């Protein structure tokens, strides 16, 4: 019975004395939600182990501090869409456009069909049919280039909405001139 009690202690000693073989952290990617004080400390330590960091944070300042340009761009696009959904289409368009510029500046091609479609949706809300259709052309071009098709149905739905709105505007203009 005494021998069974000593086995856990020997295992702890092997770990403490370095006989334990752990898993290397280099090249791993931890996910961090929020870059407040704790998130920043975790990111700093993880970088020290050679880890890549993936995180979500509503505070762009932390993203800039750690050089996460993709997240800054994505947050700008998402917040722009949210502002537009609440009625501030002008600010929403500006944020999405800035986010798209930043996203493209990184060389990233993924997500462009979706991001351009979000911009088109905001243009639809703002009543700017031509700009919306142009955004959808950009979305379709990116879709052809990347073969990223998960947002394809939404792109065609938005195109239909914009064309209907365009047709309604043209019909109203015609009726106005007839009167």
Alpha-carbon distance of 81 to 59, in angstroms, equals 17
Region of 18 (left: φ > 0; alpha: ψ -120 to 50; beta: rest) is left
- Does the predicted TM-score (pTM) go above 0.75? no
Is residue 32 within 8 A of residue 55, CB to CB? The reply is yes
Per-residue confidence (pLDDT) for residue 72, from 0 to 100: 84
Residues of the chain with pLDDT under 50: 20
Question: Model confidence over 22-74: pLDDT tens digits?
Answer: 556 667 777 776 666 677 777 778 877 787 777 665 655 666 666 678 888 98
Per-residue confidence (pLDDT) for residue 75, from 0 to 100: 86
Per-residue confidence (pLDDT) for residue 49, from 0 to 100: 78
């Amino acid at each position: 019975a005494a021998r069974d009690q000593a086995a856990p202690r020997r295992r702890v000693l092997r770990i403490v004395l370095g006989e334990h073989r752990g898993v290397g952290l280099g090249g791993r990617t931890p996910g961090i939600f929020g870059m407040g004080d704790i998130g920043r400390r975790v990111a700093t330590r993880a970088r020290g182990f050679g880890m890549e960091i993936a995180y979500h944070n509503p505070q762009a300042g932390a993203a800039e501090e750690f050089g996460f340009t993709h997240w800054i761009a994505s947050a700008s696009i998402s917040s722009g869409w949210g502002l537009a959904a609440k009625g501030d289409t002008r600010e929403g368009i500006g944020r999405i456009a800035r986010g798209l510029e930043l996203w493209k500046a990184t060389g990233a091609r993924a997500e462009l069909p979706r991001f351009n479609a979000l911009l088109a949706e905001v243009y639809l809300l703002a009543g700017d049919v031509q700009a919306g259709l142009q955004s959808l052309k950009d979305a379709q071009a990116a879709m052809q280039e990347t073969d990223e098709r998960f947002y394809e149905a939404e792109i065609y739905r938005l195109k239909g909405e914009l064309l209907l709105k365009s047709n309604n505007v043209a019909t109203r203009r015609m009726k106005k001139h007839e009167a």
